[in-house]
Chains A and B, each alone.
Chain A
Amino acid sequence: MKAKIGLEIHVQIVSLRTKLFCSCSADYRDKPPNTNVCPVCLGLPGTLPVLNERAVEEAVKIALALSARVNRTSYFFRKNYFYPDLAKNFQITQYDKAGGLPLAVGGHLKLSSGKKVRISRMHLEEDPGRIFYETGIQEARYSLIDYNRHGVALVEIVTEPDMETPKEAREFLERLASLLDDIGIPVSRYEGAIRCDANISLKGGARVEVKNITGFSAVEKALAYEITRQSNLLKRGIKVERETRHWDERRKITTSLRKKEVEEEYRYFPEPDLPPLSIPESLIKKVEEGLEKPAEQAAEEYEKLYGVERTVGMRIAKEKRLRRLFERAVESSPDRAKALASLLANEVAFMIKRGVSIPERPEGLLEIAKARQDGADREIILDLLSDWVEGRQVVYRKVERKVDLDSVVGQVFAENPKAVEEALRNPKAINYLMGLAIKKAGKGVDKKELFSRIREALDRRRRGV
């Protein structure tokens, strides 16, 4: 049964040295409880948060790696709720309502099937502390709190409900983790560096949120459990209500935490101790450049993934604009990669050399690549390119070229009398003439028709006509 699954993922920015709002170490693991703390992250009266600028840079890096749009100005908000793992009993986070804007919006990550899972928003926030129930949450008569982790920088990534199976959800997380590893935020190396909550709904039922899922296989299991549970309810005609459930790792089931009717009241409002977070264009540029692979590596990938010749790939990878265009355009139509590459490495590269200013949008280029694939004339290609450069819509219609096939054949015969002689004696030698004729007529020619014209011409010769 197909489901609609969305994920809310919390990623610790493990590449940082310090916490998000104070200078305590970000490396809180394996330290005696409550030793990696200071007045700020303990929320002592009178302390104030100071934003870690490196955290902003790393968060922007994640956003760009997911092709998200970074908001030039975003805001910190307080999310107010009482819980012992929050030293201030509010969490400093970002918000997308009440005039707030998150760090980034949009973006996507692709699954192996080619399916895109869209990202709806991303924001920066502080990690809460950790609560230990020595005997398990149900039986514990007291709990222990460790604030060592409190204040570590998190990026929350919220996806659209684009996944349909538990397996896809798991794959998304695995791909995200490996992407983060690749860009220098090695989440796979640290336990609990990537955590998630899942939203799942089946047709005819309300959305259920599952919390407390640790580990990617647990996500798959918890979601599979939910699908079984919800579809059983639906089969029996029982309404699936909107609620929040808790994944019980030990019993491998989900249990109800709270119905959404009593939805928590977070009383969000702008954090008065922090000015708006403005991200200059220069930072985005800097991060963008840092994310780029060396040209050799990129060219190697073009070859492996799309069969683009290495020398052509290098010409593209070396020029930032060509590279960006290629990588943006090729995603949606990998089958046109070679034609696209040839177009960029030749015509477009030449335009750049001549000082023509090239648009950043890849739209239209694929259309031109198709023309190249179809063997369209150079003039047509150049025409389409100028439409693209000048921002007009690029429309390519395969034009049936009215080549006079008989005159092509006539010319080939006239230029190659020996080959004609040979073909008259040996039917196999006809292929050589065919090759010459195709060359002359151009790639788009109707080969079947051309072949029969050649045969007719040879026949006429035999008959002495």
Chain B
Amino acid sequence: MGSISDLSTRRILVADEDHRARGTVAEILQEAGHEVLETADAEEALQLAMTHQPELMLVDSSLKGMPLHDLVRWLSQLSPATNLIVTSAELDAAAARSAVRCGVADYLVAPATDPEGLTETVNLALESEVRERPAATASPQAADRVRVEDMRRRFLSAVAHELRTPLTVIKSFASVLAMGMHGQLNEDQAEVVEHVQIEADRLAHEVGKLLSLARLENEDFTPDRTEVTLGQLVAPIEKRLRAHAAERRVDLTIQVGPAAATLLADPQDISQALLALAENGIKFCGDGGRVHVSACVAGEHVEFRVHDNGVGIHPRDQERIFEMFVQIENPLTRRHGGCGIGLTYAARIVESHGSKIRLRSEPGEGTEFSFRLPLAPEAETASTTLGDFFQQNRHA
């Protein structure tokens, strides 16, 4: 055995997606008297390194979330005294050369299967100087940016958990009552439960928008794209939109054509962007207004449109309308509330998909928001031939 147990306790961070390998390595190091931190995620590894400043980090060469050379660069910036060992399940000469060029202390193959080799290598790394490594950037502001990003992530995580957990409980219990699963409710009881559900939904929607917007503001954000049909994008928001329109006495029409047309997008985000635009239209129509929502194939794209005949937006305000927390002054805005993030949210989502929201509006005449996304390549032919068949034009 190596002499690691003779050393005083050191703090070591083990970053490996394979929980079994990670656990075995952690166990060996803990038995040697060390304090061990574990993670399966590259970003979390950097956060732990920054907050705990370990003396050594063992990182698997195939750790997802960030290329190894980027991780090494950021580690130099955030925790310069942390020495680094790259581990790998199998010998990979290219990875080993790359690790050495990055300035890591050592490269270790299958550490969990060789406790003696592991302890010896760890021992040497703990006693050696940190080799010169490429820095993330010459700018000290970069480290501040990472710290702010770390705070943002932790804030989001805490808020998401603390707000969404009780909302889930309230909504679930209210649903059980509303569905009459434990006895039919009388009229008054049903009304009380309905109000609980409506307000819980409203709160959930606002919380969701705020959290999603914060997620979208992350400069590294990329949408989680998957194949989705127009029908699947519109169906989840239709019920809410119709309820909202009925409540405001707005005539809502929804057109989807063809429902089977497929695009590559983050279904939840695009649905929510369309919902935010449509709710904005409903809000600014007032009693007796009309809102038309459409998602239709046009050539090789899908054109999403939300048209209302509401108060319109003055040209001087059109530049500001997508800014966070901006609401253009008018009595309807104040009467209908909202915190002014809906359009910002929709714009960020559409931008993250490589497109842009277009705005056409005349004061007193109404407003039209639109954006287009490309059809999934294999869907183009099918959508053309099935277009008329699937055409739907549904009215509220």
Q: Do A and B come from one complex?
A: no
Listed in ascending order, the chain B residues whose CB lies under 8 Å from chain A are none
Listed in ascending order, the chain A residues whose CB lies under 8 Å from chain B are none
